[in-house]
Amino acid sequence: MSGIDRRDFLKLVGAGGVGAGAGFMLAESIKHPVEHLIPYVVPPEEFSPGIATWYNTVCSMCSAGCGISVRTREGRAKKIEGNPAHPVSQGRLCAHGQAGLQVLYNPDRLTSPLLRTGGRESGDLIPITWEDGLSQVAERLSALRASGQGNGVCFLSEGVRGHLATLFELFMEQLGSDRLLHYDFAHPQTLYAAIDRLFGEQHLPYYDLRNTRYLLSFGADYLGSWISPVHHGLGFGHSRQGRDDVRGRFVQIEPRMSLSGAAADEWIAANPGTEGILALGLAKHIVDEGGYQGADRDAWAAALAPYTTAAVADQTGIPAATITRLADTFAGTQPSLAIGGGAAGNHGNGVDTLIAVNALNYLVGNLGQEGGLVFNPEPVVGQGSNARQASYRSMLELAEDARQGRIGVLIVNQTNPVFTLPAAAGFKAALAEIPLIVSLSSFMDETSAMADLILPSHSYLESWGDDFPEPGVGFSAGAVSQPVVSPLYNTRSTGDIILGLAQKLGFGAALPWPSMEEYLQDGWRKIHARGATNVDAESFEAFWIDVVKAGVWGENTRRETRSFTVDSSVIDSIGVEAPQFSGSSDDYPFILHPYLSIALHDGRGANLPWMQELPDPMTSVVYGSWVEMNPTTAEELGLTEGDLVEIESPHGRIAAPVYVYPAIMPNVIAMPIGQGHSEYGRYAKDRGANPIEILSPQMEPLTGSLAWSATRVRIIPTGRQVELLKTGGVSRELGREIIQTTGADQNAGGLAALHSIPITVVPT
């Protein structure tokens, strides 16, 4: 019946049967695309029509590494839920993770390998075969390798962990290149450096929000965008109402109220960049009051001497009474927890700030405590998230190498530095000097638009892989990600592309695996051999099936809590410099506070229609950028909501409408990151502005990471008005008592048991 659809068949019947005119009518009928009336005469084996099949895999929308369960029907992915067995997500998922389906089914996905003909600016992209595409890349790579210039190959990837990361290592080793970089805009590089310096740990600790009684968050928007929001959300909920006798108290210190600031019991605005000074002020008060009794108490007291309450109050702008109260409560409420990140870690003094914040945990004895800070074991596979992360400085070095002609081939995997680096870095111009740029992106983003050859990867829902979340949850855990649908297009998984190139280059014994799936299985044989895991299986085959099915693997052992004292050289060097901002405060009176959008993250979510139409939690704005300013600032400048202004830094100028924001310091203006794409598909393109573009190229000196909260700007009204698209109208309750509150004394707390009952959801 191919060639005739149902409607045409009825037409034929209506015409009096298939007779003399049938030839003509058949010819007419095949003008339309062929539609089969009964597609499942021989039903595929993987599923039964009408019955949902669930596959457990791993979310790749951000670097948190949540385990997910994907509901599929008739071979299509229908819904993503959290995997209840996975320790990070525990059956829960954020808005961004839910929208993963729109990555898979995005109308703007690249559907086959593409080759640019003509120049980068003018040339067209024509579809080619995989064979052709891989051969072209392999040819260039082997030429470089043969002439001893293997190091001229640079592989720039998004942050990946697990076996994909080790595959990249092997591949680059064979090429003879050490230019393997991971680049994520939001990677908490300063936090890694602070933890390393203070505790001698190369990996992030687990912050136990769930069991804490008192949390001081210095700039970390842990519920919105910091590291692992779903897991933090679980911890927050439990800390609030999951214990009958105690309700966790949360304090947020930041210049602009974030989602976590709104959830906190107390929101405190310290002068931008002085969060670390505040932390040291608290530390001094705690040490002075006898809250710390370690042997090195005198060393701490000496190091903290300059941070008197009066001096700290002066620098941070926080009243002295508040400082002593915070310090007393922090020391007196056990277990307590101090976390730092976000804007506080993105100043020139970022590492020192985060050392100061985490030192608080040490001083009051939160290390290794339930409700405190727990160290994680070594990564199961590879070297973890931070080992290959490129700092801003290494990206500048890459750009310089490119300009000097030292880069022959650049392979870019799913990262978009042209969008997430400031214009001052000159990265885009440097790319133009690279003879061959290969992109493995699934979308035509700003960086892929510079590529000569595009070998599009599968989406994460079509690929094999694995992930070991970092920070872990205090014990070793991970999950295998498996394809949940057959590939939609003529794309390949990143691992398979690398293995395909390895074959063409004749790497043979070094990378012998024919596919990512087999490489993965080979790697998991070693994990099986470790034993002592949640999956108890004798044979590897049974183990593998169990791990893939469960969507989670974990070791039963926790790491021993080690006791230690902070090195005396670290104590002596403790201190936080006053923050440095580029531009004079006369010319540029405002400090720009860019923040990660909850819906769009660092811009990667901008091509998802659900995320574009998801009201920003704090402002309810959709489809565009805005600039937040304090009501008094707006009044002084004569601005109201919707007034289009230009935001000018010493390094550029962008335009956005004003949103009057009640909880931001008067000398700070804030902008969400994520919009302002010049490419990246129909939903993202030409919408809003990208604040990263105008950032000053200042660095934190130790890590070389971008100090992206340290730019000064001025506001230039344009006199034009634009409509700010947002939900709702009235931002105040006006006595309607819609959100009701009650005093702590009315909090009976008897609901803890409700969340400890295991829930079995009927699989639909």
Find the binding residues for other proteins in span 470-509 (CB under 8 A). Answer: 488
Distance CA 675, CA 623 (A): 9
Per-residue contact string for residues 41-80; x = within reach of other proteins by CB under 8 A: --------------------------------xx-xxxxx
CA 488 to chain centre: 25
CB contact at 8 A, 606 and 596: no
Told to check if 746 binds other proteins by CB under 8 A, we report yes
Distance CA 670, CA 625 (A): 11
Q: Cα–Cα–Cα angle for 404, 407, 413, nearest 5°?
A: 135
Shortest Å, Cβ 95 to other proteins: 4
Shortest Å, Cβ 740 to other proteins: 5
Shortest Å, Cβ 94 to other proteins: 5
Distance CA 230, CA 209 (A): 12
Told to check if 760 binds other proteins by CB under 8 A, we report yes
- In terms of DSSP bridges, do strands 124-127 and 114-117 run parallel, antiparallel, or are they unpaired? antiparallel
Shortest Å, Cβ 166 to other proteins: 31
Q: Phi and psi at residue 373, in whole multiples of 5°? A: -120, 125
DSSP class of residue 490?
S
Query: Between the CA atoms of 188, 193, 195 and 196, what dihedral angle is there, to the nearest 10 degrees?
Result: 140
Residue among 426, 615, 701, 704 that touches other proteins (CB under 8 A): 615
Q: Looking at 178-186, 490-498, 607-615, 703-711, which segment touches other proteins (CB under 8 A)?
A: 607-615
CB contact at 8 A, 175 and 153: yes
Q: Which is nearer to other proteins, 175 or 263 (CB)?
A: 263
Shortest Å, Cβ 265 to other proteins: 5
Q: Looking at 468-476, 589-597, 613-621, 634-642, which segment touches other proteins (CB under 8 A)?
A: 613-621
**What angle separates helix 162-175 from helix 516-530, to the nearest 10 degrees?**
120
Q: Cα–Cα–Cα angle for 351, 356, 360, nearest 5°?
A: 145
Per-residue contact string for residues 262-281; x = within reach of other proteins by CB under 8 A: xx-xxx-x------------
Q: Which of residues 220-259 bind other proteins (CB under 8 A)?
A: 223-224, 229-234, 236-238, 240-242, 247, 249, 257, 259
Told to check if 667 binds other proteins by CB under 8 A, we report no
Q: Which of residues 7-46 bind other proteins (CB under 8 A)?
A: none
Told to check if 215 binds other proteins by CB under 8 A, we report no
Q: Which is nearer to other proteins, 170 or 725 (CB)?
A: 725
**What angle separates helix 162-175 from helix 130-146, to the nearest 10 degrees?**
50
Told to check if 742 binds other proteins by CB under 8 A, we report yes
Shortest Å, Cβ 105 to other proteins: 5
Q: Which is nearer to other proteins, 250 or 375 (CB)?
A: 250
Shortest Å, Cβ 572 to other proteins: 35
CB contact at 8 A, 446 and 602: no
| Contact partners, residue 716, CB within 8 Å, separation at least 6 | 645, 646, 647, 648, 653
CB contact at 8 A, 648 and 714: yes
Tokens 């936090």, residue located: 191
Distance CA 310, CA 314 (A): 6
Q: Which is nearer to other proteins, 23 or 319 (CB)?
A: 319
Per-residue contact string for residues 625-654; x = within reach of other proteins by CB under 8 A: -----xxx----------------------
Burial of 485 (0-12, 13-18, 19+ CB in 10 A): middle
Q: Which is nearer to other proteins, 190 or 274 (CB)?
A: 274
Q: Which is nearer to other proteins, 261 or 474 (CB)?
A: 261
Shortest Å, Cβ 553 to other proteins: 22
Q: Which is nearer to other proteins, 295 or 730 (CB)?
A: 730
Distance CA 764, CA 343 (A): 42
Q: Which of residues 673-692 bind other proteins (CB under 8 A)?
A: 682
Interface with other proteins (CB under 8 A), residue total: 102
Told to check if 739 binds other proteins by CB under 8 A, we report yes
Q: Which is nearer to other proteins, 575 or 615 (CB)?
A: 615
Shortest Å, Cβ 271 to other proteins: 12
Q: State yes or no: cis peptide before 471, omega within 30 of 0.
A: yes
State the DSSP string of 365-406.
T-BT-TTSEEPPPPPSSSS-SSTTB--HHHHHHHHHHHHTT-
Shortest Å, Cβ 356 to other proteins: 23
Q: Which of residues 72-131 bind other proteins (CB under 8 A)?
A: 73-74, 76-82, 91-99, 101-102, 104-107
CB contact at 8 A, 248 and 254: no
Q: Which is nearer to other proteins, 640 or 747 (CB)?
A: 747
Helix (H) or strand (E) holding 157: strand 153-157
Q: Which is nearer to other proteins, 140 or 249 (CB)?
A: 249
Distance CA 36, CA 58 (A): 34
Shortest Å, Cβ 112 to other proteins: 15
Q: Which of residues 334-353 bind other proteins (CB under 8 A)?
A: none
Q: Which of residues 434-463 bind other proteins (CB under 8 A)?
A: none
Per-residue contact string for residues 691-730; x = within reach of other proteins by CB under 8 A: --------------------------------x-x-xx--
Residue type, 484: V
Burial of 433 (0-12, 13-18, 19+ CB in 10 A): middle
The size of the chain, in residues, is: 764
Q: Which is nearer to other proteins, 509 or 748 (CB)?
A: 748
Distance CA 762, CA 60 (A): 26
Q: Which is nearer to other proteins, 84 or 348 (CB)?
A: 84
Shortest Å, Cβ 84 to other proteins: 10
Q: Which is nearer to other proteins, 262 or 299 (CB)?
A: 262
